[in-house]
Amino acid sequence: MAAAIFATPSPLALLLLLLAVVLSAATGQGEGAVASNSSSEASARGIVDGTPNVAPASVDEPGLGKNASIASGDALQTAASADDRCSSQEIPLGSKCTGCPPMYDGKLCASTTWYEDRTKGSCGCGTKPMVEDDWWTLNSFTAALNTVSMDPQNPALTYCLSGCGSCYELCTTGGIIDSLDLSATPGQCTVFKITNRCADGWNEGWPDWCSQHLSWQDCQANPDKCRQEGGTNMFGYSAHFDLQDAHRQIQHTLGWVNPEVTFEPVSCDKWQGPADAECPGCNGGW
């Protein structure tokens, strides 16, 4: 049987082959890094390769509570057609609401955020500028409302607005607004008392959470005006609620991280705060 004959490659050929392998690996790694970096900014806005970057099916973060699953079959609404939406700078990442003003299950929709403010607020809810840590405005379900909805006739007021002391029931839709938000189980409802004013963007005249130039009542009565630029906030909602979270009653107790909600005014008899809650700084209380 004839013996197999193997040609021994020259040192130069081996060197060229090794160089080709190294260059191929380096090129592949570089392309991946560029692709990843180019998508990082878009990912922060909730969009990757033109597709909304929806939160994972289940998120369990320490201190935030268990968040609801997002079922792909249920398909969160993303980027509704321009004809259906109010004009806004940003498009909600996964809204359940439709139309202008946006509605869900026959109720108006709103955006939410959380904040901490240990002053007596725009409604004068305290006997001194800074309230005690156990004061009812800090440990109950209270909120700041966008200024034009809080006082449609005098939205520039910074103190004792007409909407002080009103109550709203907020119910989660299961939708999310921004890439940093988490979905909440649909149908979670809580009543909040309004004790403060939110004017983010309203004074400055740029799109922001509370930059609406029409109240939610005006938007509901005049959808064509609401549809115009500046009628709603930067995500196209006619109302915004900034929820007091000084004792983590929003993130921990409710497990809410800026969810999309429906809202409607309700009797404050439904509010779960203290019966003797008053705001003496405004007209001797409510």
- Based on the residue annotation, tell me whether 242 is a catalytic residue of this protein: yes
Instruction: Provide CB contacts within 8 A for 47, sequence distance 6+.
Output: 53
Q: What backbone torsions phi and psi does residue 197 show, to the nearest 5 degrees?
A: -115, 140
ω before 101 within 30° of 0 (cis)?
A: yes
**151, 200, 242, 245: the active-site residue:** 242
Pairing outcome for strands 107-115 and 189-198: unpaired
**84, 117, 245, 276: the active-site residue:** 117
Question: Quick one: which of 286, 282, 284, 246 has its CA closest to 139?
Answer: 246
Q: Which two three-digit tokens encode residue 244?
A: 């007091």
Could you give the C-alpha distances from 4 to 1, 9, 14, 73, 261, in angstroms and in order?
9, 16, 21, 62, 78
- Based on the residue annotation, tell me whether 117 is a catalytic residue of this protein: yes
Question: Quick one: which of 60, 221, 66 has its CA closest to 152?
Answer: 221
DSSP 217-233: HHHHH-HHHHHSTTSS-
The angle subtended at Cα 234 by Cα 232 and Cα 239, nearest 5°, is 45
Catalytic residues: 117, 242
